[in-house]
Amino acid sequence: MRIFLLFILTVGLVEWNLNNVAGSKIMYLKTGQVDHVLRDYIEHFFGCEVCRINFLHEFDSCGFNRCERLTTEFGSLEDWKELPLWLFEFHNGVNLRLKKERTEKDNRIPTQQELTDVEWPARKDCPSCWYADGRFDPDKIYLFLQLTYWPDELISSVKTRNLIFGRNTVELDTNKEEGERESWIYSLAGLVVASFVLTAVSWAHQKQREVERTGKHKKVDDNCV
């Protein structure tokens, strides 16, 4: 559930910037700022202690080239995509590390097929996401993330067929106009959800810092003694 929310937030950043209703750079979300919101969420609200420590270590050490890939500038569409793609690589990195740790306990080295099997998305779910040599196609991966965490009805079904069958273009049927209207509604709803979650996480973190700064939690504890 938690990783689900993180992917919604990262894809939501791209969708928010693309659908910026104000048309002003002031309203744009920056990847180099939103990534720290994710970090704060993991640090203060993630229940798994080992997961939290590993994430913070990778984040603070600029794992998967985070510091170079994510920017505090307004950036472009390709810059915005780097945040969900970075999270995707981090997620798969965790899967691979855990697989290697499990096989080490059995005193053996994992096979290439075993490592491939823990990568997400599975080859059968997104054949065109992966090259034969094991590398991934960033554009196809982002499209997969978009379809998974930001679905938009008719157009999503077309894009899904493109991913599975590797088609570049597919003609929409006569319901295109209706589908696009539904897509707009779903996208707007998604923007509201993503904005709310981002705001909630940011507010909770600020509240936590305020409590630590003022020592209010200590006063409450003292009164309870």
DSSP states of 77-128: HHHHHHHHHHHHHHHHHHHHHHHHHHHHHTTSPPPHHHHHHTSSS-TTT-GG
**Could you give the maximum distance between any two Cα atoms of the chain, in Å?**
70
Whole-number Å distance between alpha carbons of 101 and 115: 12
- Say if residue 166's pLDDT is above 70: no
Q: What is the pTM of this model?
A: 0.74
Please state, in angstroms and rounded to a whole number, the distance separating the CA atoms of residues 17 and 52.
Answer: 29
| Lowest-pLDDT range of 71-75, 80-84, 174-178 | 174-178
Q: What pLDDT, on the 0 to 100 scale, is given for residue 223?
A: 47
Rounded to whole angstroms, how far apart are CA atoms 59 and 46?
15
pLDDT tens string 81-135: 999 999 999 999 999 999 999 999 999 999 999 999 999 999 999 999 999 999 9
Separation of CA 186 from chain center: 18
Is the per-residue pLDDT at 220 higher than 70?
Answer: no
DSSP assignment string, 184-217: HHHHHHHHHHHHHHHHHHHHHHHHHHHHHHHTHH
CA atoms of 190 and 147, how far apart (whole Å): 12
Task: Quickly tell me which residue has 């981002």 as its tokens.
Answer: 198
Closest CA to 184 of 145, 153, 144: 153
User: How far apart are alpha carbons 192 and 196 in whole angstroms?
Assistant: 6
Band of pLDDT at residue 197, cut at 50, 70 and 90: low
Q: What pLDDT, on a 0 to 100 scale, did the predictor assign at position 198?
A: 61
Give the pLDDT mean for 215-223. 49
* Spacing of C-alpha 199 from chain mean position: 16
Sign of CA dihedral 96, 78, 66, 187: negative
